[in-house]
Amino acid sequence: MIKNNKALKDLLSQLQLLDSESVFFYNQKNDAFLKHISKETFKKLDIIQPDAFYVFNDQPYILFFDFCDNYSLEREKEIHRQVWSFDQAPLIFIIKHGDIGIYNAFSYNKQLESLQRIDISEEIRNEQFSFWNLQSGSAWKWLQENYYKTKRLKDGIQNKRVNQKLFENIKLVREELANEDGLTEDDANILILRLIFIRYLIDRNVKLNEDYIPEDEILEKRKTFSQLIENPVRLNSFFLLLNNKFNGVLFKNTDIILSEKQSKALGHIFRGEKPEEGSLFYAVEFYFEVFDFSIIPVEVISGIYESLIDPETRKLHSAVYTPSFLVEYILSNSVDVFLSSERDGKVSECKIFDPSVGSGIFLVQSFRRIVDKEIAEKGKVTKERLKEIAENNLFGIDINPQALKVTSFSIYIAILDYLEPKSITSDDFQDLLPKLLDRNLFEANFFDTSNSFNDIILKAKPDFILGNPPWKSEKEETHLKWLKDNNKVIGRFEIAQSFLLRSKDFMSENTVSALIVTSTIFYNISKTTKKFKTDFLTQFCVECFFDLSPVRRLIFEEKDSPCCIVYYKLSDGESHKKNLVRHLSVKSNIFLKYYKTLVIEKFDQKSILQKHFIENDWMFKVALFGSTLDFLLFKKLLKTGKQLESIIDNKTILLKGSGIKENPKVGEFPFLIGKKCLENKEVSQYFTPRSSGKELTADDVHLQSGRREILFLGDQILLKAQAEGESDIVASYTQTPFVFKHDVFGIATQKDPDTLLFIYTLLISKLQTYYQYLTNCSWGIATRPAIRLEEYLSFPYEVPDYHQKAVLLELADRFLKPYRTHYEQFNIGSPVRDEAVFSEINSAVNQLYNITGSDIDLIDYVLDVSRYQFQESKQNKFIRKINNDKHHLSQYAKIFLMEFQKIYNDDFLQIQIFSLNHFVAMHFIFLDHLPQEQICFIEDSDDSQESQVFRRISQSISISQVAKDLYIQKDIKGFEENSFYIIKPNEFKCWHRAMAWYDVAEFKEAIQSAELDRLNEL
């Protein structure tokens, strides 16, 4: 039946979405669908069948269902279950006569058989979910603040989502079955996995043996299956049958015998019945009857299982496996590109090798892409060809045999998805399945060079090596032998480093590797890590370095470890020297946190010569949080050729060192008795008063290391390893000699207090914070970021003349005076920094280092924006709205006036600023006379609407174009006959003065290029 969807169109019109290019009607599906969503997502939508859906950044965010023509309560309940299992679209709208329901699609209430309803007025609905609120992200922030957070849990919504519930349910069943006199952990693991996979086959409507599952309807099949679970003998007979059908994978061991209590309890929870008091699973809410495995990907189940069989992850509170959105990104930029390229006679062949199979997600998803390509090219795929594709193209190894079995079974299920009819009952079914174990999938250690897999993989000549190797230090014997045999020097035995280097053995000229590895191996500045980086960057050409370090808490939440994706090919010995690395990064945002969408902004996309990463230890950090202009500023700073450390003799005049270390206690340090010792928290920002600390006694000086007595005498600068609130360097001056503890560093003197005070002004300066943030190997990167003493003292040292030093000493004295006075007078609270004097110190330091113009703005950008970008709680510092901040916008505009005045003597520039709620537009008009106002804010009512602003500044720009690009790319630029314009989101960081320098450079380059083209045409 064809719906007229009048009510749906009325709603879309009220939300200003009816004519949007971001909205698609399901009954009008065409090739445009697949340009905006992946094939896998499309297949799921084909099951759910919304009447329309709204897409943002190539992901469906809202599904619309129109029941006005034909309402069914059962169908509505089914939609709620399916959408929850979908776990991609955060919102659904259900339209019925007299009611439009809005639902939070991440939260399902089992008792109500419904998603969480969002009860708001029509007025609020039309405002919150309007076109611009959706495009700008305001709607999603509102949803986050009102429905995702709870008083009890900061991220309460994550505990309600389908994948987490599935993990919890599987884990609880496994634990209860293995309790006391129950099954072994291994048997419990394999049993629950078998049951889940059978349910998966049922939900996918695969025809099973009628002696066990006779029904045709899915719900009836589920019911029969739950009854079968309650009969352990028949269940084992079914396992035996499945074992024969699936080539001995997963169902081989059939002597797992459930007790009557266990089988009855399992049957009840799979049927959806509440466990009775005294039964095995009492007081736990299970969702097995709600989960829809026709929508939940098989890789999720495999990933959850991988987490449960791994001793390191099985006790965590959520599953740890490679997220599907990361796999999607990697495959889209590797396998998809390869399959779409012109190749002689091999349009649907692509050999994949995963050196750490795990859940098998890379192999399963690659298989689907290859098969989809075959169907697109030939219109169909035969049963024999499905088997052939798997055998010819999928290879992997893992040290865990269970992981390989799960991967093999997942590939079988993927094959079943393409069979019509979907049935395992035919006599030849097992012959249609590839025998992958020990032929394609090997139980082995990647570093075992004698294993048979080496020759097989080499002979296969992989097109891609893809995977997510372990993130840990590994002193296992085979790994150590490989390191020794190959003369590899690896810092802390990081296995990720070894995986990257070992992959070379399986690469040919055209092989591309893309591995997810811990990013700290590229930031650490130890000698062994530097050696690894040199080896890696001279043996390979890095095609792309996708840094996910700033969002470490959002990618692998339980691991909280920084990671990156490295795409690389072999270097011919010279090609790496001229190779251009595409550097990408993602900063913290709600789209990644809640919707698992990778939003890569324009400023986070860079192209950098690989030689810069070889020559500069700090290049990876500058590439992540800085830019080309920062690179040039660093080069200027480093021209001094000296470091701050060079003026510290560390003998008699200026001393440096770490604080005392308490454990393990190995000796006595009596020279510390009677001295005052600070706890780390007592080291205050800028100044530490005499009243702090506690006098050490003989009982306190039995330590691992008491350092040197001279370090605890005279005036001191105390430096904390940990940045305060992950944002601020703590440098504290004191004239009371203190003993300090580990994780605090000191610079002390009894002979040269002037030089110490001069060093202090450098350490508290904005320039020092800027330098540390863009060079430190862990700040903004690691789980426990720390600044080491050698990093503090690596700061470039510019020798001051007498006057420059005198000015800074006088300023330091003025700066410290309020702190001394505050503590001498025993005032309550903390002293307040004198901003005027602090500004003077920064100006004097900038003058010393010749920091001018754009340099100052770059430093401010790092301090105002970059150092907060990895901290979810501080996002508002740089994305706050500035449409009413005329000073901030004027400061940006003044850069254009200043720079264009230098190159256009006869022309004048007027800048019209349109400040709207969702975006700000600046229109730059060339005039032949100096206008009364060069910067004017257009505030008349006629220009208050988006469409009117667009008409005023350009004849070619449209709302759909702006909406499509603005909130991802972060700017839209264009030219008219006598003007140019720029449109950006209404966010502080987008209109920072530092951004103006980049924008000016872009416009200058475009204008000069156009003028050259015009001259060439004359």
* 223-257 pLDDT, tens digit each: 999 999 999 999 999 999 999 899 888 887 767 88
Q: How confident is the model at residue 916 (pLDDT cuts 50, 70, 90)?
A: confident
What pLDDT is attached to residue 962?
A: 63
Domains in the chain: boundaries: 6-153, 162-296, 306-468, 644-868, 880-1017
HSE-CB of 277 using CA atoms within 13 angstroms: 0
Q: How confident is the model at residue 299 (pLDDT cuts 50, 70, 90)?
A: confident
pLDDT for 317 beyond 60: no
What pLDDT is attached to residue 972?
A: 85
Distance between CA atoms of residues 708 and 263, nearest Å: 69
Average pLDDT in the 801-829 region?
A: 94
Model confidence over 101-111: pLDDT tens digits? 999 999 999 99
- Which of the residue ranges 299-308, 791-800, 976-985 has the most confident prediction, judged by mean pLDDT? 791-800
Distance between CA atoms of residues 94 and 68, nearest Å: 10
What pLDDT is attached to residue 152?
A: 41
What pLDDT is attached to residue 93?
A: 98
Distance between CA atoms of residues 792 and 360, nearest Å: 44
pLDDT for 964 beyond 70: no
Determine how β-strand 694-695 pairs with β-strand 702-703. Answer: unpaired
Q: How confident is the model at residue 271 (pLDDT cuts 50, 70, 90)?
A: very high
Model confidence over 777-797: pLDDT tens digits? 999 987 777 899 999 999 999
Distance between CA atoms of residues 540 and 875, nearest Å: 37
pLDDT, greater one: 655 or 785: 655
Cβ atoms < 10 Å from Cβ of 216: 10
Distance between CA atoms of residues 202 and 218, nearest Å: 6
Report the Cα–Cα distance between both ends of the chain, in Å, rounded. 63
- Percentage of the chain exceeding pLDDT 70: 93
* Phi, psi of 557, deg, nearest 5: -60, -40
What pLDDT is attached to residue 227?
A: 96
pLDDT for 139 beyond 50: yes
Closest by CA position to 191, among listed 170, 213, 215 = 170
Q: How confident is the model at residue 32 (pLDDT cuts 50, 70, 90)?
A: low
pLDDT for 510 beyond 60: yes
- CA torsion, ordered 760, 766, 768, 773, to nearest 10 deg: 140
Convert 96-120 to b/e letters by CB count within 10 Å (16 or more is b): eeeebbbbbbbbbeeeeebbbebee
pLDDT, greater one: 592 or 995: 995
Average pLDDT in the 148-165 region?
A: 69
Mean pLDDT across the chain = 90
HSE-CB of 113 using CA atoms within 13 angstroms: 9
Element (H, E) at 61: strand 59-66
Mapping DSSP to helix (H, G, I), strand (E, B) and coil, where does residue 747 land? strand
pLDDT for 156 beyond 80: no
Average pLDDT in the 630-642 region?
A: 94
What pLDDT is attached to residue 365?
A: 95
Distance between CA atoms of residues 40 and 54, nearest Å: 17
What pLDDT is attached to residue 154?
A: 46
What pLDDT is attached to residue 943?
A: 43
Average pLDDT in the 576-587 region?
A: 96
- Which amino acid, residue 87? D
pLDDT, greater one: 828 or 260: 260
The β-bridge partners of 739 are 677
Determine how β-strand 694-695 pairs with β-strand 676-677. Answer: antiparallel
Q: How many residues does the chain have?
A: 1018
